[in-house]
A and B are shown apart, each in its own frame.
Chain A
């Protein structure tokens, strides 16, 4: 079945450091890919998405590029801030697979220290 694998955390970075959170997927067809973020005490919210190969999703300084050849959707940010401390989830929505909801990775906790 469809699945998403994320790098395990926690990830701890100093403010202004470069961030990469790896995400790879397994899916039939051509899924849409998402990154969701969960701030402490809150529900998940969409951070960015990409719907086809080579698309780049971006928001709040975060970017991820849909790489079909490596089945990856790695999340990057050039300079993290303390306010980016959260749990990040990679997810996919499979196309042409009937009524199948989003599949989430296990999440990666990011802590940014000043």
Chain B
């Protein structure tokens, strides 16, 4: 049972380059999320998708775009990478009937470490 799979695990970009982080889950979860983790800042939500076909901004959406390709896949795109986007990115998913209320539990991927030079 793979859970949440993120690719790539590591990536180095130059300022201005673009790239897409891929995320897929095999648990039939409705909701998917992208977080970034920075030292001293904890986890900050970038975008989320409550259900297939919907996406919403989180706390730090600027400089990112997302696509909920289908129920399994949720990608994060950096159109023009900046050094401030150097971070570890985590994808997560949860089953909660399409809503966030209640005792939802997130399953996280292993993370993608991105460095922007």
Contact = CB atoms under 8 A, between A and B. Distances in A.
A99 B40 contact: no
A56 interface: no
A95 B33 CA distance: 18
Interface string B96-117: 0001111111111111000000
The prevalent SS among residues of A at the interface is loop
A43 B4 contact: yes
Given A43-B110, A43-B111, A49-B105, A106 B40 contact: yes
Contacts of B19: none
Which bucket holds chain B's interface residue count?
20 to 34
Tell me whether chain B's interface is mostly helix, strand or loop, or mixed.
loop
B106 A51 contact: no
Contacts, number: 65
A71 interface: no
B58 interface: yes
Interface string A29-57: 00010101000011111100101000000
A100 B56 CA distance: 10
A101 B45 contact: yes
Interface residues of A, number: 26
Contacts of B40: 106
A89 B101 contact: no
B4 A93 contact: no
Interface string A81-100: 00000000100011111111
Given A89-B42, A101-B33, A106-B42, A96 B109 contact: no
Contact of B90 (A44, A95, A98, A99): A44
A44 B99 contact: no
A101 B58 contact: yes
Interface in B63-108: 90, 92, 99-108
